[in-house]
Amino acid sequence: MEKETSVYLISPVRQVTEEQAKVIADHAEKLKLAGVKLFNPVEDAPQQDETGFNIVMAELNFMLQAAMENGRVDILWNAGGTPSEGSRVDLGIAFALDLEFKLVAVFNEEEPVGPQIGLEILRELDGEKPLNVIWEIYSELSKIKNNREVVIDWDTEMIGSEQEWQRIRLGLALGCMAINPRLRMKMGRLIGIDPADKKSYVKVIKEIEKIQMDSGSSPE
């Protein structure tokens, strides 16, 4: 009996239009009907989590398992609207775990908003553009893999390419940590305010750092 394919869905979760939500839901349903083992963050991640830590761990663990089973990520990317931090982080994780990419849809490509490194990466993967950003990603991956500790600087507002790169780099670090639990993660320079009552990647990074300090190993 052929083993079912594991697919992780990279798509915007919050602040999507009804039309975008329908496209995402329709694709997820199509995968389920095909017998795919699907992780759709909207439905399968513990979105009620107060800090975001459990969400990230659930997503990371599924992608790690998918990587071991020759799975893939299906991507529905929003180039407009409010830029999705989670999509950038997920993209980095997928690269670190060497998952296969399948670009399903791009929303608002004609009216992009904010930094667009993520879209550049997708177009390079599609063969529409020369491999420039992707080589930078593999260069950064090599640096992370060859160090015992990765320091994550963070701006709470993703307003430009530097901040978008921070999200992608966090994903790279998380993926490397999943493969090598001895890799230490540390919160670096923080710019901006991290509200106490909202889930955030700042809280995720700090929780990982605390667990590693307390137990001597990475969270599972």
Residue boundaries of the structural domains of the chain: 6-214
Query: Is residue 92 within a helix (H) or strand (E), and if so which, with residue range?
Result: helix 85-96
**C-alpha distances out from residue 126 to 8, 119, 207, Å:** 19, 10, 36
Mean pLDDT of 15-20: 89
- Give the CA angle between residues 125, 67, 50 to the nearest 5°: 95
Contact (Cβ atoms closer than 8 angstroms) between residue 174 and residue 55 = no
**C-alpha distances out from residue 207 to 58, 87, 120, 188, Å:** 15, 21, 31, 14
Query: Is residue 207 within a helix (H) or strand (E), and if so which, with residue range?
Result: helix 201-215
Q: What distance lies between CA 192 and its chain's CA centroid?
A: 21
Residue-wise pLDDT tens digits, 83-120:
899 999 999 999 999 999 999 999 998 888 888 999 99
Integer-rounded Cα Rg, in Å, for the chain is 17
Specify the pairing of strand 6-10 against strand 72-78. parallel
User: What does the chain come to in residues?
Assistant: 220
Residue-wise pLDDT tens digits, 164-209:
999 999 999 999 999 999 999 999 999 999 999 999 999 999 999 9
